Structure 1
Amino acid sequence: MKRVIVEYAKLTKDILDMLIEKYPDGYDYEDIISFKNAKGETVKAVEVKTEDTCYLVKISNRLENAMEEYAEDEEFFDDNDDFDVNDDESK
C-alpha cells in the first residue's frame, strides 16, 4: 500500500470527502498519528485510506476549518484559492 503525506495546500476534493466521511464530527486526540519525517521533524496527521493508498493528512488549524466549512458547503473547495486543484494526484 502506497503512503502519501498530504499538506493542507495539496488537499483534493476526494481526500477532503474521505476526511469528512471518516471524521464527521472532527477528529479526536486518539485519531492523530505522530511520526518523524525525513528531516527528523515530528509530524502530526490523520489517516484516510483508499484501496491502494494510505493518506496521512497533516493537521493544522486550516485543515480543521476547511473540514468544517466543506461539511457545511461543498462549494467551499471550488471557491477557495488555498487548494492546488488537481484531483489526478489522488489517483
Structure 2
Amino acid sequence: MKRVIVDYKKLNKNILNLLVEKFPDGYNDNDIISFRNHHNEAIEAVEVKTEDTIYLVKISKRLADTMESFDDDTTDSTTEVPVAMSKDQVEDLED
C-alpha cells in the first residue's frame, strides 16, 4: 500500500471528500498522528485511506477551515472547490 504525506494546500477534491466523510464533526486529539519527516521536523497529520493509498494530511487551522467550507459547499451548492482556497491553491489543484 502506498503512503503519501500531503499538505492541505495540495488536497484534491477526492481526498478532501474522504476527510469530510471520515471526520464530519472535525478531528480530535485521538485522530492525530505525530511523526518526524526526513528533515527531522515534527509533523502532525490525520489519516484517510483509499483502496491502494494511505494519505497522511498535515493538519493546521486552515485544514479545519477548508474541511468545513468544503462540507458547506457540497451540501449547499455545486461548487467543487472549497471557498477557503485562494486562486493560487485552485491552480495548484488543477496541475
Normalising by structure 1, report the TM-score.
Answer: 0.87
**Bigger RCO (CA 8 Å, 6+ sep):** 1
Q: Distance in 2 between matches of 1:35 and 1:43?
A: 5
Q: Counterpart in 2 of 1:6? A: 6
Q: 1:70 to 1:54 in 2, by over 3 A?
A: same
CA RMSD of superposed structures (Å) = 1.7
Task: Identify unmatched segments of 5+ residues in structure 1.
Answer: none
Q: Unpaired runs of 5+ in structure 2?
A: none
Identity over aligned residues, as a percent? 55
Say how many residue pairs are matched: 87
Alignment-derived partner of residue 48 in structure 1? 48
Q: Which residue of 2 aligns with 1:77?
A: 81
1:36 maps to amino acid? R
Following superposition, the deviation at residue 78 of structure 1 comes to 6.1
